[in-house]
Amino acid sequence: MATDLSDLKNELNPEQYEAVMTINGPILIIAGAGSGKTRVITFRIAHMLDSGVPQSQILALTFTNKAAKEMVERIKELTGKKLPLLTISTFHAFGVKVLRQDISKLGWRENFSIYDETDRNALIKETGRELRYSPEALDIYKIGILISDIKTGRKQWNAENEMYRELYEGYQEGLKLYNAVDFDDLIVLPIRLFKEFPEILASYKQRYKYIMVDEFQDTSHQQYEMMH
């Protein structure tokens, strides 16, 4: 049975209650671990739905798939509604959603595969072999980190890493050739879509009027940009 949402004062302390009742405008919640921040987001979404905000307009970003799933279940419980159009997911899962829709504009096909670390390492090795890097120059772990740092803008090319530039470019070409993206691409490519295709950005802005982020302090620069 759905919780009686008119009785939220019994479920929340005064600060939580104030945040939950505030539907419009930006809110930042700073409080210690276990103090009820996630509970605020969950109840706030339930309250929004109860107040007539369409579920399709709400986007909540969480840190793990497990957290996303638990939040959806809790909101279903609170509202007693099926919520097929409510978007609660990790940044990466949201990135996948965006890419499945529009990645063809960037030259991949919609049925792209997502490379995990093992796939990525294999592609780095393969690219290195093709470019005739000597095997001892190929510290796969280190190169994996460099590729990620370059891709996400944490690092620039410089005299020290320049020697891996060709490898990076080969790796990028390899991904496209195999119609694959890596984990960083799940954030980086949606940002590219939003920047290069204003009509795509506009459609997401149009759809998602209410955006919430749990564990905001742990968002990377890239995730922040995507959300922004």
Which chain residues interact with ligand ADP by CB under 6 A? 11-13, 16, 31, 33-39
* Residues across the chain: 228
**Closest residue to ligand ADP using C-beta atoms:** 36
Count of C-beta atoms within a 10 Å radius of residue 136: 6
Sign of CA dihedral 217, 223, 224, 228: negative
Least distance (Å) between residue 29 CB and ligand ADP: 8
How far apart are alpha carbons 83 and 85 in whole angstroms?
6
Type of residue found at 68 = A
Residue 67 Cβ vs ligand ADP, minimum distance, rounded to whole Å: 9
The alpha carbon dihedral of 178, 183, 184, 185 has a sign of positive
CB of 78 to ligand ADP, least distance (A): 12
Please, are residues 192 and 161 in contact by the beta-carbon 8 Å criterion? Answer: no
Select 75 or 123, whichever has its Cβ closest to ligand ADP.
75
Strands 87-90 and 210-213: unpaired
Choose the contact partner of 79 out of ligand ADP, Mg ion, none; CB within 5 to 8 A by kind.
none
Q: What is the dihedral of CA 166, 220, 226, 21, to 10 degrees?
A: 170
Contact partner at residue 34 from ligand ADP, Mg ion, none, CB < 5 to 8 Å by partner kind: ligand ADP
CB of 40 to Mg ion, least distance (A): 9
163 binds, among Mg ion, ligand ADP, none (CB under 5 to 8 A by kind): none
Q: How many CB atoms are closer than 10 A to CB 9?
A: 12
- List, as one string, the DSSP characters of 151-180: HTTS----TTTGGGHHHHHHHHHHHHHTTE
Q: In the complex, which residue's CB is closest to Mg ion?
A: 38
CA–CA–CA angle 72, 77, 79 (5° rounding): 95
36 binds, among ligand ADP, Mg ion, none (CB under 5 to 8 A by kind): ligand ADP
By rule CB under 5 A, what count of residues binds Mg ion?
1
State the minimum distance, in angstroms, from the CB of residue 13 to Mg ion.
Answer: 15
**Minimal distance, residue 50 CB to ligand ADP, in Å:** 18
Residue list 19-38, contact with Mg ion (CB under 5 A): 38
Binding partner at 77 among Mg ion, ligand ADP, none, C-beta below 5 to 8 Å by kind? none
**Binding interface with Mg ion (CB under 5 A):** 38
